Structures are given as C-alpha cells and as structure tokens.
Structure 1
Amino acid sequence: MTQQAHKPQRTAAGKGTTGRQGDPAGAEERAPKHETLRTELLALIDDGLAPHAPLPSERELMQRYGVSRMTVRRAMERLTQENRVYRVQGAGTFVADPSTISKTLYLTSFSEDIRSRRMKPASRLLVLERAEADLACARDLFLAPGSPVVHLERLRLADGEPMCLENVWLPEALVPGLVEEGDPQSLYGRLERAGAAPEQADQMIRATVLGPREAELLSVPAQFPALHVERVTRDIRGRAVERAVSLYRADRYDYRLTITREPHP
C-alpha cells in the first residue's frame, strides 16, 4: 500500500502531529516519536525521492517535525538497518538504491536483507550432506579435524534472480537430523530452535572473480566480479555455530560501514 507524505501540524508548543485522516488528534502519543518520524520519512521516500537523493539534514528534520536530535537519529538508525537509506560521513543521509542490496554492521540473514528491499527471497538447495571437518572448518568451528559437520550449498535468489552462492558448515551435534529433514528454509531459525541463535560474527571480505561453475549458477559471464565473504558466526554463549563462505554478485551487493578517525595522541 502506498503511503502518502503529510506535513506536520503545529501545536502551540511547536510539536508536530501526524494529522492523518481518521486518526484522533493525539495519535502520535501512542507510538514512539522516532517511529512516527520514520513513517513520515518512508512516505517521503516512497512519494518519489530517487535513489541516492539526499534527505533533509538533522537540523532541518528537527525544525520541520518539531522533534529532538535523538528522535531524528533513532529514526535514521532504523531506516539504515532496514536498508532504506545510507549515510556518508560528513555528507549526510541518502536514499538507498533498491536494486543494490547493502550489507551493514548488523548480523542479518540473506532473507532479511532481501525482504528489507521489499523483494522476495528464495533458495535453491544444491548440496545437503554430512562431511568431515577439514582444517579450515575445524579451526573456525573449534572442532577436531575430521569431526562430523553438516555442509549445505545454496543458491540464494531475490525475486527469482540469482544473487549469491553460499556454502555453510555447521557442527552436526548442534543440528542432529538436519540432513534427513532436508532444506531448512531458515537456517538461522533452525539454529535458534537448537538453542544456538546467531548473535555475533566475524567476516572477511575480498574482491574476486567467478569461475565457470559459479558464474553459470549466478547467471553472469565467467570472470565476473564478485565479493568473496567468509564468516564465522557465534551464539550468545560465544560458541562457533556456523562457518560460511559466500560469493555475492558485485553488481548487486555492496557493504556500507561507518568509520571514525582514531584520535592522535
């Protein structure tokens, strides 16, 4: 459903209200102010702001909607998490391009990334097997070499288009019976039900090119640029629960980070 942008109505105290038809005058009091502002900004974006168009500055939003700086920042943080906007240090906040799936510092699944872009995620299971942990897998999962693991290879799609080729290894002791169950659909959901909900991950990202098999699966030419991402995921107790090696199409994925210059002594 398309949302319409509304200008806030000013009260004597200078505070904004949503002024939506059919809502009682104090409707904004029933929702946190940052959520009300987030809804207004989504309506502004959906009303026709082009990808990479700048959003009003924090000061402008404070004045326009009669809210505090903290309210503006919380609303922007939510929109950033949802991949609707992105920030450029020193330049401002901009509308995200819906054709690009941006990863942030938050630990999210592929399906969550795709849904945040209002696209439909899907997976094609290529491999689901028991295996023995090789040296890399044993190192990352803190297992003895040769320990039983479950290996999945999945082609990840958005609106039917291949986006990512993903290989995952899990300690079999965490997911007994997974091979017999078949495609888990939501791997993070399966880990959560096993008491090993993903909480934190270390990732290494580098540029690469695709070989013939990977390129064919991802529907691009051989030697096409890609992002090679290795991830080790831990649960709330600090246990390593997943090792993943993924290849993302570089034309559809990017990583956005906010970095701060370290003070000099």
Structure 2
Amino acid sequence: MTATKHELLRSHLQNLIERELAPDERLPTERELAQEFGVSRMTVRQALERLENERRVYRVRGAGTFVARPAITKSIELTSFSDDMRRRGLTPGSHLRTAESIPAGANVGFALGLSPADEVVHLERVRTADGVPMCIEHTYLSAALVPKLLDRPFDNSLYDLLRDHYHIRLVRAEQSIRATVLDEATATLLQVPAFSPALLVERTAYDQRDRPVERAMSTYRGDRYAFEIEVVRPTTDGTG
C-alpha cells in the first residue's frame, strides 16, 4: 500500500526530530515545509497534527512548532513523585511555595474524615525532573497525625518523611484523573503557554490502618506526562 504524502512527510519529520533537532527546538514553518517538499500546507498541517497527537511536537500560537521532550509515563501505582523520577533515571526536585496550617474546609475535611474546622497541613510544591517543572502539587494532611511537620525540611520524598518520622506507611489510594487546561498563573509555574493541556489528578491515600491520611491535587503538564492503566477483562462464564 502506497504511503500518502502526509505520511511520508511525517516520517521525514520524525527522523529530523530524532537525529538532528533538540527538545524545544523549532521546526521549519508550514510554508517552508510545503515549499521544500512540494506539497500543500494542508498536507503539512496533517503531518504536524499527527506528530502532535503522538506528543513528538508541540505548538505555540504565533511562535511555531517545537520538538517535544519525551513524555514521562506513570503506571497506576501508589508511589511518590520522587520515586517515579528516580526509576526513570531523572533527578527529582521540589520548590516549596506554601507550607501552612489551615482549616480543612468542606472538601478536604470530607476526604480525610475531618470536621471542616479541623487543622490540616497544606503544602504547595512545584515538582521538577532534572530541573524541569512537571507538576504543581497541593497536599493536605491531618495536622493531628503529623505534629510539627512544618518544622521539618521538605527536600526529599514526603512519603519517606511520613514513614521515617511518623511511622505512617501509605498503602492504597483512591484516585481520579481528568483532562484540563492551564490558567496563566499555573502555566507560568510550569513554564508552558497559557491554556496548554494538562492532567488533573486527585488522590486520597490511606495508611496501613486504613486511615485517610493524604488528600492531594496535582496538575501535570500534558506534554510531558502520561498515565498507564492496565485493563483486565473480567472472567465470565459466557463467550461474549
């Protein structure tokens, strides 16, 4: 079967990305590609759209098309961000923006089994991999379970801190993932254009005593992060 023009162009651009262009380097413009390969701009656009869907490139309105950095794929396991990055040979980092004790409020209180007036520790951190921002993370912990937590450093994994200093081992979580777009403030922190696609992950984690300990809301860059989910077909007696 003969490849279409946009498939041939896509293959050429993929080779260019893999062999010659660095991450965040700009590709030739649609007009330049159309002239070089003698195809229509619509054909160029189809090839670029496919590469964008494959997360090999990203577009910035008014600036052009750029080589995307490799996406980080996370399986659905209860692991810390730091552990995830180390498994992939990346150096995890964290920039602490907020560390405070506040009332739980209705939503966090419900998730953690607390009264809205009960105190929780709130941490807001920009999580990085090899110095590149990956996500904005808001974490809420029952203050009664982690006394003097705000007096401790947050340079490394919070899960390790909970285990080593409070004997709390998180063993399971209820988690939801949905697509969203970044507002200007969050996009600036993640160093991507405003209204870029993102993943919003909401999680309630439970310890070895099945107590809800952590409520976390994390916003991940859509161009650098993906989740792997294993789907198993249930066993049935029928042949359906």
Distance (whole Å) between structure 1 residues aligned to residue 108 and residue 115 of structure 2: 9
1:232 match: 204
Q: Which residue is equivalent to 1:22? A: none
Aligned to 1:220: 192
Unaligned stretches of 5+ in structure 2?
Answer: 1-17, 19-68
Q: Is the 8 A contact 2:82 2:156 kept in 1?
A: no
Paired residue for 2:225?
A: 253
Question: Partners of 1:191 and 1:240 in 2: how far apart?
Answer: 13
**Could you say what secondary structure the match of 1:238 adopts?**
coil
The CA deviation string for residues 228-254 of structure 1, in whole angstroms up to 9 with x for no partner, is 000000011100110000000011111
1:145 maps to a residue whose letter is P
Aligned-pair identity in percent equals: 45
- Map 1:1-265 → 2, pairs under 5 A: 99-183=70-154, 185-193=156-164, 194-264=166-236, 265=238
Comparing 202-211 with 183-192, which one deviates more in the overlay?
Answer: 183-192
Structure 1 unaligned spans of 5+ = 1-49, 51-97
Amino acid at match of 2:141: L
CA 1:258–1:177: 2 relative to 1, 3 Å = same
Whether the aligned pair in 2 keeps the contact of 1:125 and 1:155 (CA below 8 Å) is yes
Task: Give TM-score, length-normalised by structure 2.
Answer: 0.67
For normalisation by structure 1, the TM-score amounts to 0.61
Task: Note closer, same or farther for the CA distance 1:174–1:184 as it changes in structure 2 (3 Å cut).
Answer: farther
Deviations along 1:187-212, one digit per CA (max 9) or x if unpaired, are: 10121121211111110000000011
Contact 2:81 2:157 in 1 (8 A): no
Could you say what the CA RMSD is over the residues aligned between the two structures, in angstroms?
1.6
**In 2, Cα distance between equivalents of 1:161 and 1:186:** 17
